[in-house]
Amino acid sequence: MNLQIYLILESIPKMLTGLGVTLQLLFLSAVLGLSLGIFLLLMRISGRWYLSLPAFIYIYFFRGTPILVQIFVIYHGFPQFEFIRDSVFWPILREPFGCATLALTLNTGAYVSEILRGGYLGVQRELHEAGMALGLSKLHRFVYVTTPIAVRIAIPAYSNDFISLLKATSLASTITLLDMTGASRTIVAETFAPYEIFISAAIIYMVMTFFIQRGFGRFEKYMSRYVKP
């Protein structure tokens, strides 16, 4: 095996053309997925079965199927139905970017809601009671007492999911999107040098992960400022 270092250096700039798509996919589906996750969490902890059961089924379904399958169902499966192609959603579903964002959002939403639930359940019972004793309303207790603590507890697990999401965006390359992996695969098909090119791609993903880790580390520190000395 003769590793051509210059190919690695040469291909990195070309790959960075896909970085924009990767970042857009990541942040868009992270924000939408977080909103969906919060919504699902509220359904699950509502204490009403007709809200928590659908949320439970949804989470079970999206955690129980591979994300690649979800992407394929949305991208290749949905357009088989005439009514979907005629619907108002078609402009989004027509675009591979829309399909990928939708699939990633739906998937990460399911995981995030479970992560947040873990944080919520980690808040000690006594704090609820203390809030009650202070005469805070249910809403105030949730917003001012439970949430800050739950978020702090959930950060490490959430950063995990965020990094997973970064790598899941690479699956978008299977539906024609030229994200970083898509760009790499095109270069591989032209240069027949999979080893060098995919190593370069791996390096870029690792650099991104490094910054994401640092970011979450700081956020965690900030949220824990009243806990640790």
Q: Which residues bind another protein (CB under 8 A)?
A: 76, 79-80, 85, 94-96, 174, 176, 178, 182, 185-186, 189-190
CA–CA dist 208, 203 (Å, integer) = 9
Q: From the CB of 96, what's the least distance to another protein, in Å?
A: 7
Nearer to another protein, 25 or 153 (CB): 25
Please say whether the beta carbons of 179 and 22 come within 8 A: yes
CA–CA dist 108, 96 (Å, integer) = 18
Q: From the CB of 79, what's the least distance to another protein, in Å?
A: 4
Cβ neighbours around 224 below 10 Å, total: 12
Nearer to another protein, 76 or 221 (CB): 76
Please say whether the beta carbons of 30 and 106 come within 8 A: no
Nearer to another protein, 129 or 190 (CB): 190
Assigned token pair, 93: 């579903």
Q: From the CB of 186, what's the least distance to another protein, in Å?
A: 6
Q: From the CB of 194, what's the least distance to another protein, in Å?
A: 12
Nearer to another protein, 72 or 142 (CB): 72
Q: From the CB of 105, what's the least distance to another protein, in Å?
A: 20
Nearer to another protein, 145 or 171 (CB): 171
What residue has token string 């105030």? 140
Q: From the CB of 219, what's the least distance to another protein, in Å?
A: 37
Assigned token pair, 134: 């202070």
CA–CA dist 41, 28 (Å, integer) = 20
- Amino acid identity of residue 118, one-letter, is G
Please say whether the beta carbons of 155 and 219 come within 8 A: yes
Nearer to another protein, 32 or 93 (CB): 93
At 87, phi and psi to the nearest 5? -80, 170
